[in-house]
């Protein structure tokens, strides 16, 4: 299989790079801090600038405001955004709930939400995980009871990324506690400003506020905010996961880290006074990491190639997620090794190398192998669906 970009694809890449250069602050190295108001404002500006070109939802069908762009074109977009560590990409709206609404949403839901997502005017968050329901998501307990024309929701969601910035949450709730656990679940669209919704920050180990715990205390959700049929939420909710399980962002981030590390090796001397880049052991490990990134990148292209043909093999998406997150982590791990004791110094320290970024990124991107299904869960899926091994 050979993946090639057309000259139009390359033109698009150049236009995107020009837009990023024009809108990112001079010397921007990222990554953005979602809790920082200035970074969040930049993220909003970037999103609007991207939306104004129609690129935010270019993979959507034209009837919903998209450009029917090929999945390969979309890969270029995501990879470039990640390589620039650019804020403004919107995975929850454009990649997750948008496509779900196109497939399962009512006409009114499509009319109400899709144009806002396409214009970059609404922030969504994903309310799936709960304190006792992560990998085993179907054991979720947040309860929604239909009373007249509204659901009354009680329970707690956890690890909810961007809940502190979100206008709306697409959430899975239990609507029939008597049914087998996969069958009594529904998807609702909840207003994050409704009375009874409380968002509490959780600070992750890199020191950032990126996710939250969200509690629901008698929160009312209008019945028209049910997506798909009542008690059919498992099928609806799972349909977002293949969109979520793409390693392409991780390949973009990993490649940028590799590039910065290569530059560091050219500029920094080892104990023998020669640049690190002249050390055969360093060269060999950097070459291995480069090959690993390339392998992961090709898997993300393979996912897009399947999507282009209208197929969506879950095991290939799982392989791509696994390879991308592990490659990114391996680059950051090697970076920490090369930086040695300097690597743990934070931004602002006079002796910090690469502005203390690698340490923060290594802490932050640990999450890649947990979110959207852990590495172990991806391996299970590859074994069951790809290799058709028995479930034990």
Single out the catalytic residue among 34, 244, 268, 302: 244
Q: Which is nearer to ligand FAD, 134 or 252 (CB)?
A: 134
User: From residue 189 to residue 228, what is the string marking binding to ligand FAD with x (rule CB under 6 A)?
Assistant: ----------------------x-----------------
Q: Which is nearer to ligand FAD, 67 or 375 (CB)?
A: 375
Catalytic site includes residue 198: no
Q: Which is nearer to ligand FAD, 50 or 166 (CB)?
A: 166
The CB-nearest residue to ligand FAD is 134
Q: Which is nearer to ligand FAD, 166 or 248 (CB)?
A: 166
Q: Which is nearer to ligand FAD, 338 or 381 (CB)?
A: 381
Q: How far is the CB of 326 from ligand FAD (least distance, A)?
A: 14
Binding of residue 242 to ligand FAD (CB under 6 A): no
Burial of 92 (0-12, 13-18, 19+ CB in 10 A): buried
Q: How far is the CB of 321 from ligand FAD (least distance, A)?
A: 12
Q: Which is nearer to ligand FAD, 154 or 367 (CB)?
A: 367
Cis peptide before 325 (omega within 30 of 0): no
Q: Which of 43, 74, 94, 129 binds ligand FAD (CB under 6 A)?
A: 129
Q: How far is the CB of 362 from ligand FAD (least distance, A)?
A: 14
226-227 and 185-191 strand pairing: antiparallel
Q: How far is the CB of 335 from ligand FAD (least distance, A)?
A: 20
Residue 56 has which token pair? 């935010």
Query: What contacts 24+ positions apart, CB below 8 Å, involve 128-137?
Result: 128/157, 128/171, 128/172, 128/237, 129/157, 129/158, 129/159, 129/160, 130/155, 130/156, 130/157, 130/158, 131/156, 131/158, 131/213, 134/159, 135/373, 135/374, 135/376, 135/377, 137/172, 137/237
Binding of residue 123 to ligand FAD (CB under 6 A): no
User: From residue 146 to residue 165, what is the string marking binding to ligand FAD with x (rule CB under 6 A)?
Assistant: -------------xxx----
Q: How far is the CB of 137 from ligand FAD (least distance, A)?
A: 7
Q: Which is nearer to ligand FAD, 125 or 261 (CB)?
A: 125
Q: How many residues bind ligand FAD (CB under 6 A)?
A: 19
**Which residues 352-371 are close enough to bind ligand FAD by CB under 6 A?**
367, 370-371
Q: Which is nearer to ligand FAD, 154 or 277 (CB)?
A: 154
State the Cα–Cα distance between residues 93 and 82, nearest whole angstrom.
17
Q: How far is the CB of 264 from ligand FAD (least distance, A)?
A: 27
Only segment of 27-35, 119-127, 266-274, 351-359 that touches ligand FAD (CB under 6 A): 119-127
**Which residues 82-111 are close enough to bind ligand FAD by CB under 6 A?**
none
Q: Which of 238, 306, 374, 385 binds ligand FAD (CB under 6 A)?
A: 374
Binding of residue 380 to ligand FAD (CB under 6 A): yes
Only segment of 2-10, 129-137, 184-192, 305-313 that touches ligand FAD (CB under 6 A): 129-137
Only segment of 20-28, 120-128, 250-258, 343-351 that touches ligand FAD (CB under 6 A): 120-128
State the Cα–Cα distance between residues 50 and 54, nearest whole angstrom.
7
Please give the residue ranges that form the binding site for ligand FAD (CB under 6 A): 125-129, 134-135, 159-161, 211, 367, 370-371, 373-374, 376-377, 380
Residues assigned a catalytic role: 244
């Amino acid at each position: 299989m050979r993946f090639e970009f057309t000259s139009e694809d390359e033109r698009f890449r150049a236009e995107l790079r020009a837009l990023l250069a024009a809108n990112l602050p001079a010397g921007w190295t990222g990554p953005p801090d979602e809790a920082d108001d200035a970074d969040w404002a930049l993220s909003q500006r970037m999103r609007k600038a991207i939306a104004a070109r129609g690129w935010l939802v270019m993979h959507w069908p034209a009837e919903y405001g998209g450009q029917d762009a090929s999945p390969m074109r979309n890969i270029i977009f995501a990879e470039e955004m990640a390589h620039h560590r650019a804020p403004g990409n919107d995975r929850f709206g454009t990649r997750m709930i948008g496509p779900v609404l196109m497939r399962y949403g009512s006409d009114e839901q499509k009319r109400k939400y899709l144009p806002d997502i396409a214009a970059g005017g609404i922030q969504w968050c994903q309310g799936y995980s709960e304190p006792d329901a992560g990998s085993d998501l179907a054991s979720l307990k947040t309860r929604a009871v239909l009373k007249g024309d509204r659901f009354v929701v009680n329970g707690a969601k956890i690890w909810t990324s961007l809940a502190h910035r979100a206008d709306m949450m697409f959430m899975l709730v239990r609507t029939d506690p008597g049914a087998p656990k996969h069958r009594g679940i529904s998807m609702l669209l909840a207003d994050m400003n409704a009375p009874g919704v409380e968002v509490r920050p959780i600070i992750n180990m890199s020191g950032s506020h990126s996710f939250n715990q969200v509690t629901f205390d008698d929160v009312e959700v209008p019945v028209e905010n049910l997506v798909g049929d009542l008690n059919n939420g498992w099928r609806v909710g799972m349909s977002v996961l293949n969109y979520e399980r793409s390693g392409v962002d991780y390949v973009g981030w990993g490649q940028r880290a590799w590039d910065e590390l290569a530059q560091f090796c050219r500029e920094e001397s080892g104990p023998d006074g020669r640049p690190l880049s002249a050390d055969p052991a360093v060269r060999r490990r950097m070459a291995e990491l480069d090959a690993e990134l390339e392998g992961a990148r090709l898997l993300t292209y393979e996912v897009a190639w399947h999507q282009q043909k209208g197929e969506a093999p879950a095991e290939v998406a799982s392989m791509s997620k696994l390879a991308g997150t592990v490659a990114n982590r391996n680059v950051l791990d090697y970076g920490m090794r090369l930086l040695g004791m300097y690597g743990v110094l934070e931004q602002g320290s006079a002796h910090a190398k690469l502005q203390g970024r690698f340490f923060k990124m290594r802490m932050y991107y640990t999450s890649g192998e947990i979110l959207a299904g852990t590495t172990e869960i991806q391996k299970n899926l590859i074994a069951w669906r790809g290799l058709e091994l028995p479930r034990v």
